[in-house]
């Protein structure tokens, strides 16, 4: 399946029907070809609204979830964004359409190398990819205007909360990996943090340490 006009139209219709209504987010998702981030057996399903397996036992999230999470971040064009869990690189590529700079980390070196290669192929130049334990964030690059976590934590990780700017927003799935998780939006203000539940989701767990690959 190719990223032709008809595939694009169906793809965008599915996003809107699942609550992705922000024009800038929809335009970003129209510009980024999800098929470029999927190799092998599942390439013909790249434009369906479903999660798909990738290397290292991880998944590429379904597009509507990517859209909802991106929309919840309310990214501005001058924002510096941290993504925890690079995976295929698809989510970071969407963020890069909206933000000034994206830093993304993954514990699997193999995924980082593959994502970096796709970013190069697609000519995306405002993403920096690290192999690192994402639960610790990137203290050297902090603070961040926006943080997106694409793996589920039992609670929003303390190091990531500490790396948010005042006025910053973090979107993170929270809950046990074998139960229903909730997508949470955390906003930092002078006096602390506000927490808002957005919707139920299902993500792989946030694991400490580096992957063995």
Cα-Cα-Cα-Cα dihedral sign, residues 57, 60, 62, 68: positive
Say if residues 61 and 91 touch (Cβ distance below 8 Å). Answer: yes
Select which of 61, 64, 88, 135 is catalytic: 61
Q: How far apart are CA 50 and CA 60, in angstroms?
A: 9
Q: How far apart are CA 154 and CA 10, in angstroms?
A: 35
Q: How far apart are CA 90 and CA 84, in angstroms?
A: 13
CA distances from 41 to 46, 54, 55, 98, 182 (A): 10, 10, 12, 30, 30
Given the DSSP bridges, would you call strands 101-106 and 80-84 parallel, antiparallel or unpaired?
parallel
Is 61 a known active-site residue?
Answer: yes
What residues contact 172, with CB distance under 8 A and at least 6 apart? 147, 148, 149, 153, 156, 157, 160, 183, 184, 186
Catalytic residues: 61
């Amino acid at each position: 399946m190719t990223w032709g006009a008809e595939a694009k139209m169906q793809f965008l219709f599915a996003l809107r029907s699942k609550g992705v209504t922000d024009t800038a987010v929809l335009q970003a998702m129209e510009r980024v070809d999800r098929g470029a981030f999927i190799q092998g057996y599942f390439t013909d399903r790249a434009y369906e609204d479903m999660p798909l397996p990738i290397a290292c036992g991880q998944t590429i999230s379904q597009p509507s979830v990517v859209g909802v999470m991106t929309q919840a971040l309310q990214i501005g064009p001058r924002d510096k964004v941290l993504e925890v869990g690079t995976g295929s690189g698809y989510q970071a590529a969407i963020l890069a359409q909206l933000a000034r700079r994206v830093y993304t980390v993954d514990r699997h070196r193999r995924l980082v190398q593959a994502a970096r290669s796709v970013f190069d192929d697609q000519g995306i130049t405002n993403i920096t990819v690290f192999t690192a334990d994402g639960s610790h964030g990137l203290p050297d690059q902090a603070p961040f205007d926006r943080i997106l976590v694409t793996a589920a934590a039992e609670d929003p990780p303390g190091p990531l909360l500490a790396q948010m700017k005042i006025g910053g927003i973090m979107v993170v799935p929270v809950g046990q990996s074998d139960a229903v998780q909730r997508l949470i939006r955390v906003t930092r203000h002078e006096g602390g943090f506000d927490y808002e539940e957005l919707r139920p989701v299902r993500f792989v767990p946030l694991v400490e340490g580096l992957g063995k690959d």
